[in-house]
Amino acid sequence: MSELPLLARKLDEADELASLRDRFVLDDVVYLDGNSLGALPAHVPDRVADVVRRQWGELRIRSWEESGWWTAPERIGDRIAPLVGAAPGQIVVGDSTSVNVFKAVVAAIRMADAGRDELLVDASTFPTDGYIAESAARLTGRTLRPVTPAEVPAALGDRTAAVLLNHVDYRTGRLHDLPALTAAVHAAGALAVWDLCHSAGALPVGLDEHGVDLAVGCTYKYLNGGPGSPAYLYVRKGLQDRFDSPLPGWNSHAEPFGMSPSYTPAAGAPRGRVGTPDILSLLALEAALDVWDGVPVAAVRAKSLALTDFFLRCVAEYTEPGRVECVTPERHAERGSQIALRCPDAGEVMKRLIARGVVGDFRHPDVLRFGFTPLYVGFRDVERAARVLGEELA
Active site residue 126: yes
Tell me the average pLDDT of the chain. Answer: 98
Burial 205-236 (b: 16+ CB within 10 A, else e): bbbbebebbbbbbbbbbbbbbbeebbbbbbbb
- Which of 31, 102, 126, 170 does the annotation list as catalytic? 126
Give the contacts of 387 (CB within 8 A, at least 6 positions apart): 4, 314, 318
- Which of 102, 220, 243, 310 does the annotation list as catalytic? 220
Active site residue 220: yes
Q: What is the pLDDT of residues 245-259, one digit of tens each?
A: 999 999 999 999 999
- Which of 369, 370, 376, 381 does the annotation list as catalytic? 369
**Per-residue model confidence (pLDDT) at position 141:** 97
Cα separation, 324 vs 358, in Å, equals 17
- Which of 95, 195, 361, 381 does the annotation list as catalytic? 195
Do 328 and 371 form a contact (C-beta atoms < 8 A)? Answer: no
Q: What is the pLDDT of residues 21-35, one digit of tens each?
A: 999 999 999 999 999
- 69 SS3 class: coil
Active site residue 103: no
- The sign one gets for the Cα dihedral 221, 280, 72, 131 is positive
C-beta atoms surrounding 148 within 10 Å: 14
DSSP state of 218: -
Note the pTM of the prediction, 2 decimals.
0.97
Do 132 and 212 form a contact (C-beta atoms < 8 A)? Answer: no
Active site residue 310: no
- Which of 221, 271, 303, 335 does the annotation list as catalytic? 221
Give the contacts of 155 (CB within 8 A, at least 6 positions apart): 120, 145, 147
**Per-residue model confidence (pLDDT) at position 45:** 98
Give the contacts of 31 (CB within 8 A, at least 6 positions apart): 39, 359, 373, 376, 377, 381
Query: Which band of pLDDT confidence, cut at 50, 70 and 90, is reported for residue 69?
Result: very high
Active site residue 273: no
Q: What is the mean pLDDT of residues 167-175?
A: 97
DSSP state of 352: H
